[in-house]
Amino acid sequence: MTTTRDTRPGSTGGADTPGPLHSGPDEDYTPEQLAAMSREDLDRLGARYDGVEIVHVDPGPEPGSALEKRAVRQVGLTFTLAGVFALLFIVVYVGSGWFLPDWHWTITEGGWSALFTPLLGLFMGLALALFGIGLVLYTKKLLPHETAVQDKHDGSHFDRVTTGATLVGGYHNSGLGRRKLITRSLLFMGGGVGLMLLMPLGGLIKNPNKGNPLGTTSWAKGVRLVRDDGTPIRPGDQEPGSLETVFPAVPGGNRQPDAATMLIRLRPEQVESLSPREGQAGWAYGEYVAYSKICTHAGCPVSLYEQETSRILCPCHQSQFDVTQGAKPVFGPATRALPQLPIGVDGEGFFIARSDYHEAVGPTYWNRERI
């Protein structure tokens, strides 16, 4: 935007062709006079009142030139690809359960299910990256460039009208009205990216906790407690005051983070002071108690056991749980006790669970009490 007109104050103004200015714009021009002016005149007039100084103007490529056509193709292709990747994201997000073989909505070690999250990240990342690249290309290669210095002041009717003209002028200068390829690709990409960003809301439609996966683990009545290498444990295998991390003896049990459990052999004086939580008397087996290893604050694995104080410490935010008090929190940000696993021994003398946990393990979530 340039102006060659005199911008010095001193005229009554108000004509179709603006003259020099001397006072407030609303005094110089009535709404009718402003409405009668062309967009270019309003744009120019607003710039003068705003004290805009145009330092440099580069009008961009000549309309219809080979340079412009090439830039339009580049930008259009980039926007279209962004839209394509956004649609691929949507296809994977909502369609994987329909058309992929052996699909499971839980994460598995192999197959398509294992690719679900990486594919979502890949397609969303490419769509957003191409969206950004397209905008940069469009701005650099097709928009007119100007350097202007402008003073800031309060708004008025005059400002609103002239600013509106400036914005319309910006759209006009952008060439979007005549560069149909870019407009269409922009609409395609906008629709695709917009839908892609809305898709995750679909997770609110379907209950992700159907079947109560958040409230259950692989522990069940009769499931043995085994070490990480799969070996079962008998009473007497541990020294008094020691802690062993155990897992359910089910396929992949040692890979299930919510099932990780601490089997603790209490010392005789700890057994005497044992005070289980209400309704949990008899969940220990002799000197042994078993608690979830997942911190009830934010889900870190708790594992630092100080037998002198009977406390388990979570290294993340220093919550402490008293194993003789039903693993109730006695320090730090955690507010719930570590869930206790009822244990016993089977006919061969190995430790088994007597049921699953009776409450959800891990950190609190918004509807935990409803599970």
Q: Please tell me the distance from the alpha carbon of residue 247 to that of residue 253, in angstroms, as a whole number.
A: 6
How many residues at the interface with ligand FES, by CB under 6 A? 11
- 55 by Cβ neighbours in 10 Å (0-12 / 13-18 / 19+) ranks as exposed
- Confirm or reject binding of residue 295 to ligand FES (CB under 6 A): yes
In the complex, least distance from residue 311 CB atom to ligand FES, rounded to whole angstroms: 13
In the complex, least distance from residue 330 CB atom to ligand FES, rounded to whole angstroms: 12
- Choose between 307 and 319: whose C-beta lies nearer to ligand FES: 319
Q: Please tell me the distance from the alpha carbon of residue 117 to that of residue 107, in angstroms, as a whole number.
A: 9
CA-nearest of 286, 276, 293, 105 to 217 is 293
User: What are 341's two structure tokens?
Assistant: 């696993």
Q: Please tell me the distance from the alpha carbon of residue 99 to that of residue 92, in angstroms, as a whole number.
A: 10
- Confirm or reject binding of residue 314 to ligand FES (CB under 6 A): yes
Task: Rule CB under 6 A: choose which of 126, 197, 316, 330 binds ligand FES.
Answer: 316
- Choose between 40 and 306: whose C-beta lies nearer to ligand FES: 306
- Confirm or reject binding of residue 341 to ligand FES (CB under 6 A): no
Residue 170 half-sphere exposure, CB side, CA atoms within 13 Å?
Answer: 7
- Choose between 193 and 294: whose C-beta lies nearer to ligand FES: 294
- Confirm or reject binding of residue 257 to ligand FES (CB under 6 A): no
CB proximity list for 149: less than 8 A, separation 6 or greater = 52, 53, 55
CB 291 within 8 A of CB 338: yes
- Confirm or reject binding of residue 300 to ligand FES (CB under 6 A): yes
Q: Where are the beta strands (DSSP E) in 90-174?
A: 145-149
- Confirm or reject binding of residue 334 to ligand FES (CB under 6 A): yes
In the complex, least distance from residue 294 CB atom to ligand FES, rounded to whole angstroms: 9
Task: Rule CB under 6 A: choose which of 84, 133, 298, 345 binds ligand FES.
Answer: 298
Residue 250 CB neighbour total at 10 angstroms: 16
- Confirm or reject binding of residue 319 to ligand FES (CB under 6 A): yes
Residues that bind ligand FES (CB under 6 A): 295, 297-298, 300, 314, 316-317, 319, 332-334
